[in-house]
Amino acid sequence: MSTNEKSAIKPPLWVLLELTHKCPLECTYCYNQLDFANTKDGMSKEDWFKVLDETRALGAVQLGISGGEPLLNKDIVEIVRYANDLKFYTNLITSGVGGEKGVLKKLKEAGLKTVQLGIQSHDENTMTLITNNKSAMKDKIAFAKEVKELGMQLIVNTCITRQNIEQVGEIIEFCDELGANYLEIANIQYYGWALENVDALLPSKEQLDKAMEVTNFYREKRKDMKVFFVVPDYYENRPKACMNGWGTTFLTINPDGLALPCNTANTLPIEFPNVKESSVKEIWYESKAFNFFRGDEWMNPTCRSCPEKEKDFGGCRCQAYALTKDMHEADPVCDKSAYHGVVKKIVENANKSDKLPIYRNKQNSLKFIENKTCCS
């Protein structure tokens, strides 16, 4: 990077705290890395306070509290209160399952601003099929009701896969009845467990087009609930501007204290700094990891000479590495990439596969770690 480029680095705006990778659900599409069982809950509440002090001092304002399931971290109320005192705008990203009784009220009193609740279906069987948790449906409905009773905004996020894409209309009606203020129908992106399960999860183009049509129909009818639709990038020809560009806007801290430019960056062969060893300021501006893909010097000639590089920044680094084993490659979603055929092949295989997905849980994670060690 040139000195000019270095001085143009802006502070992080969005900070995401992954308070734990433990989760009572076992969703097949989870983006957490396959070896998440290796990630320890190594951050004390004082460590999280230090991160909040340092990120706020840099100018960050938006704070996501996520996981795993963040409600499983016993310090969550104190962390939210600390963040609120620093004037962060706090958003809880939760499954609504597994929290202590009364925790939501305490979070509201501590200053929590919004709740983003994951609801995968209006139908109990589908919910159990996706989450492998029989009480998920009941717990989520109770949680959504509590959010509304407390007078808070309810944002619902519905992750879409082949298992629920044909229910989009019913899901929209269901979320409307729950009183959702915003609904994001998000076709999943294929990282971590989702990539492992892609053959079982990816919907067909026909299913996708139909779901968009249904969403547009309901958008017209339900003006009081805003509905967003996110398309899976495997059906696109240009990559997404992942994280708005590496190290420009987003900062994630994982349960072990690793500072990452995106949630899955530690799947890349890069050594990431830890907030227990360095200040966030040093990490954000000076660390090798955060400077790795800033600017365009790292790009291959196809991306560097592309007029769209200012828009998509060469696409997603984690996806490039997962699909090509070279993290400097163009994101293979781009049809200018030499590896675009890899994405086409995945889509083709998935469209004719009747494989069943594996669940995201500790046993499967440990199996993955074991196989990786024995075969590498």
Structure tokens at 135: 């009480």
Residue 175 assigned ligand-binding role: no
Could you give the string, one character per residue 185-224, with x where binding to ligand FES holds by CB under 6 A and - elsewhere? Answer: ----------------------------------------
Residue 262 assigned ligand-binding role: no
Q: Which of 56, 108, 294, 317 binds ligand FES (CB under 6 A)?
A: 317
Residue 30 assigned ligand-binding role: yes
**Residue 296: which of 283, 310, 285 has the closest Cα?**
310
Those residues whose C-beta lies under 8 Å from the C-beta of residue 352, and which sit 6 or more positions away, are: none
Nearer to ligand FES, 167 or 187 (CB): 187
Nearer to ligand FES, 92 or 262 (CB): 262
Shortest distance in whole angstroms from residue 28 CB to ligand FES: 19
Distance CA 254, CA 16 (A): 8
Shortest distance in whole angstroms from residue 265 CB to ligand FES: 5
In contact, 29 and 157? CB cutoff 8 Å: no
Nearer to ligand FES, 25 or 262 (CB): 262
Sheet architecture: strand order including 259-260: 226-230, 182-187, 153-160, 114-118, 89-94, 62-66, 14-18, 250-253, 259-260
Shortest distance in whole angstroms from residue 263 CB to ligand FES: 7
3-state secondary structure of 71: helix
Shortest distance in whole angstroms from residue 242 CB to ligand FES: 3
Other CB atoms closer than 10 Å to residue 337's CB: what's the count?
23
Q: Which of 127, 225, 303, 318 binds ligand FES (CB under 6 A)?
A: 318
The dihedral through the CA atoms of 77, 78, 79, 85 has a sign that is positive
| Footprint (CB under 6 A) of ligand FES, residues 90-149 | none
Total residues binding ligand FES (CB under 6 A): 8
Tell me if 63 contacts ligand FES by CB under 6 A: no
Cα–Cα distances (Å) from 331 to 1, 199, 237, 338, in that order, read 21, 20, 10, 10
Nearer to ligand FES, 118 or 247 (CB): 247
Buried b (16+ CB within 10 A) or exposed e, 229-243: beebbbbeebbbbbb
Shortest distance in whole angstroms from residue 282 CB to ligand FES: 21
Helices 136-149 and 124-131: crossing angle in degrees, nearest 10, is 110
Nearer to ligand FES, 225 or 243 (CB): 243
Nearer to ligand FES, 244 or 305 (CB): 244
Distance CA 300, CA 203 (A): 31
Could you give the string, one character per residue 238-277, with x where binding to ligand FES holds by CB under 6 A and - elsewhere? Answer: ----xx------------------x-xx------------
Q: What value, to the nearest 5°, has the Cα angle with vertex 370 and ends 24 and 276?
A: 65
Nearer to ligand FES, 244 or 371 (CB): 244
Known binding residues for [4Fe-4S] cluster are 23, 27, 30
Site of interaction with ligand FES (CB under 6 A): 242-243, 262, 264-265, 316-318
